[in-house]
Chains A and B, each alone.
Chain A
Amino acid sequence: MAFSDEMRDAAYYHYSPSYKYSLGIELVDEKKAMKNHTNFRYTYLLNRKNTQNSQRNLYFQSSLSVGGNDEYSYGFLGDWETRRYFIGFGAQELKSNLRNYDKQYVQIGFAPYLGDYGNLHSWLMIKSKHDSRTNKWNTYPVIKFFKGDYLLEFGVDENDELDIHFMIRF
């Protein structure tokens, strides 16, 4: 998965030995601090509820950086989705020997049409995220496409900063 916004560019590779957890390595370029570091991430599924028409998830996520700042993080991610609607949230606490900060986001969306398996699927979303370093909420539209093994999520905020996720399923 690749990610880019005004604070960082990141590439994340993860492996899920089981649906319960995944282990990953994240290569991060902190744009404002002008430094690179590597995070090891661990994500654990705390709770999942499958129904005929929906899925709900709650994850614990943590990371440990080996970039020199002794940064580590922990937090929670959650989502609920049907084929038509999506609601997601996340909260993360990040600590290092330089500073501590936290990040949160909420995201809601809907699919304007319901594609069949193998079709191009599209989502229109609104994302709002907060970073205690800038101490402001940033709300902006996001559009998500996926087809086959490829997923692209693309958002642009009021400062024309991009928020991009690109994912390939191997």
Chain B
Amino acid sequence: MRYLLFSILIFPSFALAEAVMHTDHSNHSAHHSHEGHLHTQLVDGAEIKLDAERFDKFVADQSGSQIAVISVSGMVCDFCARGIEKTFQKDTGFRKIDVDLANGKVLLAYAATKKIVKKDIEQKILSNGQTVTDIQILTAQ
């Protein structure tokens, strides 16, 4: 009985593993065309590392928006990171969010008129149990 139940549950897990690995391989090819990561040089000389393909996809429909690129530590679990999305969705001027678990990055798109307070972002991430290590604000072209 228990072996049957586990066989039923484990099979889709490994089938999905194979599907994800295949996807990773496809992404890997795409990364080569972007040299792996996009290094964005800011006016103040700071440099932030981003997954180029992911960032491009995120800002594709966000022309003129402010993009907060947040580096987060302790963001190891999708289920735990859900709270981050729920918290920021309530913000005025909020447009879109992306959570990159692999690189510990959260991308937030806000309306151009929104006054972004870094301390407020830090506090919201902390209230969900993770720690902010860096925040950079960009403007999507």
Query: Residues on A close to B: CB < 8 A?
Result: 18-19, 48-55, 81-83, 112-122, 124, 141, 143, 145-149, 151, 154, 156-158, 160, 167, 169
Contact = CB atoms under 8 A, between A and B. Distances in A.
Contacts of B76: 53-55, 81-83
B77 A81 contact: yes
Contacts of A122: 13, 16-17
A145 B14 CA distance: 12
12 contacts: A19-B129, A48-B74, A112-B17, A113-B21, A114-B101, A115-B16, A116-B101, A117-B78, A119-B78, A121-B77, A143-B10, A156-B6
A54 to B, nearest CB: 6
Nearest 7 Cβ contacts at the A-B interface: A50-B74, A113-B17, A156-B2, A122-B13, A117-B99, A55-B74, A50-B73
A158 B6 CA distance: 13
Given A50-B74, A55-B76, A117 B81 contact: yes
A5 to B, nearest CB: 14
A139 to B, nearest CB: 13
A81 B75 CA distance: 10
